[in-house]
Structures are given as structure tokens and as C-alpha cells.
Amino acid sequence: MKWPQILSPGAIAVTLALGTLWAGVCAMQWVSPVFLPSPGATWSALLAGIAKGELAQLTAGTVERMVYGWALASLAGIALGALIGTSAALRAWLAPTFELMRPLPASAIVPVAITFIGLSPAMVLIVITFGAVWPVLLATVHGFASIEPRLHEVGRVLRLSRAAFIFKIGLPNALPDALAGMRLSLTIALILAIVGEMLASQQGLGTSILQAARSFRAADLFAGVALLGLIGLVSNALLSMAEHRVLRWKQPR
């Protein structure tokens, strides 16, 4: 998703239509303002939080956890995916493990992580990394496993070592799959950062949203949710632009 797509007339029209519907529901009082604030009240709460500096600090904490967890997951996923993807034996041995671990929700390991690590920033980072690594790992394995067989023959003719084959031939061919996995991984990292903050009481938007919900501050709650949506939108757009630039050589001229 590129910025022109996000700012296209159609996208803006849909956003305005949803905002108008939201404002209409609030004006007709179909839902109590205690549970559904108006767009104006949400906007005012967002501006007030930014003016006080609270939201900026909370957002920075959430984004930092998301980026660190996503970066670790991406590095681990690409490294392991390259090793596994270039070995048919490893793929055969690890396939049952992948099928067992892939559908496992990351939230399921939270109690285990709390038991061994405790309620700490390290626990949140480990949960984020665990949940976000799978899209990158599986996509990278698929990218390396689907390399054209003739390229393997080229590597053997040139007497390339396994490491040289991975970096010079394998990685450029598997990069589109790996980047697609990284985009999905980024969304998962944001979700798990919020969940981890709520469970471990770490300073961030997750804790702020939870506290607003418990105290029935609907405007602050919706302001936090809107800010999370903006973070996801901007981060996905930036990664999409980076992907477009990195893979420029694959685009038809």
C-alpha cells in the first residue's frame, strides 16, 4: 500500500462516510456516550493527550516494543528460513514441528513466559518476537524452497559455497516472499505489543487503553484506538514503500 493509494479519492470518501455514520449514531443517541463518544469528543481527547505529552510518550513506548520485536523476528526468521529453505532434509524433518507451532497463538505462551521470566519488558519482547517470527520464517522457507532448479545448477557450476549461494542467488530470489512475511509480521508485532503491555502493565498505549476502559473514559479509549490504527497504517505504508524500492529490479520496465 503506497501513500497515493491511502490518499486516493475512494479511500478518503470511505473514511468520510464512516466518520459521518459514526457522528450520526452519536447524534441520534442510539448508543450511550458512556460507551460511544462522538468523533468530536474523541478528537478533543486526542489533542488533549498530545498537548500534555502523555500520548507521545505512550506511543513511543509501544512503537519501540513493536519495532524491536519485529526486527528480532525478521532477523531470526530470515536467517533460519535461509538455512531451512536450502536444505530439503531440514524441511522434511521440521515440517511437523512447523505445522504444530504455526497455528499456536502467541498469547498462549504468555503464561509460560511469565512463569520463567516474570512480568517484565523482556517477557513482552519475547512474546512479540515469538508471535511475529512465523510469517517471516515460513515465507522465507517458501522463497528459498521455490528457487528455480537451474539456479542450483549454476551455483554448483560456479562452485559456490552454501553461504555464497544463499547471499548471491538464494536471498535475492526469496526476498519478495520474505518481505511479504515481514509486512504481516509487523501487524502481528503491533497487536502483541498492545497485549503484552496490558498483561505486564508496561507503559504504552495498551495500558492506557485498558485504564480508560476500566474508568469508562470512552473518549480517551477511542483516541488510543484511533492512534493505534494510525500507527498500523503509517508503518505498513512505510514498509510497503521500502519493499517497492528494494524490489524495483523485479518490476517490468
CA distances to 102, 178, 221 from 239, in Å? 24, 12, 27
Kindly state the average pLDDT of the residues 163-182. 84
**pLDDT of residue 249 exceeding 70:** no
- Determine which of 5-14, 40-49, 76-85, 134-143 has the lowest per-residue pLDDT on average: 5-14
**pLDDT of residue 232 exceeding 80:** yes
Contact assessment for residue 197 and residue 66, using Cβ atoms and an 8 Å cutoff:
no
Residues 223, 134 share a domain: yes
pLDDT score at 121: 81
CATH number where 55 lies: 1.10.3720.10
Q: Which residues contact 139 (CB under 8 A, 6 or more apart)?
A: 77, 81, 177, 178, 180, 181, 182, 184
Contact assessment for residue 186 and residue 235, using Cβ atoms and an 8 Å cutoff:
yes
CA distance 97 to 95: 5
Residues 143, 67 share a domain: yes
Residues 134, 155 share a domain: yes
Residues 186, 237 share a domain: yes
Contact assessment for residue 17 and residue 253, using Cβ atoms and an 8 Å cutoff:
no
Residues 150, 90 share a domain: yes
Residues 96, 50 share a domain: yes
Q: Identify the domain containing residue 246 by its residue range.
A: 37-250
Residues 22, 111 share a domain: no
pLDDT score at 111: 77
Residues 11, 49 share a domain: no
**pLDDT of residue 25 exceeding 70:** yes
**pLDDT of residue 63 exceeding 70:** yes
Residues 160, 47 share a domain: yes
Comparing C-alpha atoms, which of 64, 243, 62 is closest to residue 139?
243
pLDDT score at 197: 85
Structural domain total, the chain: 2
Residues 101, 215 share a domain: yes
pLDDT score at 5: 56
Residues 51, 5 share a domain: no
116-148 pLDDT per residue, tens: 787 778 888 988 998 899 899 989 988 888 887
Residues 200, 152 share a domain: yes
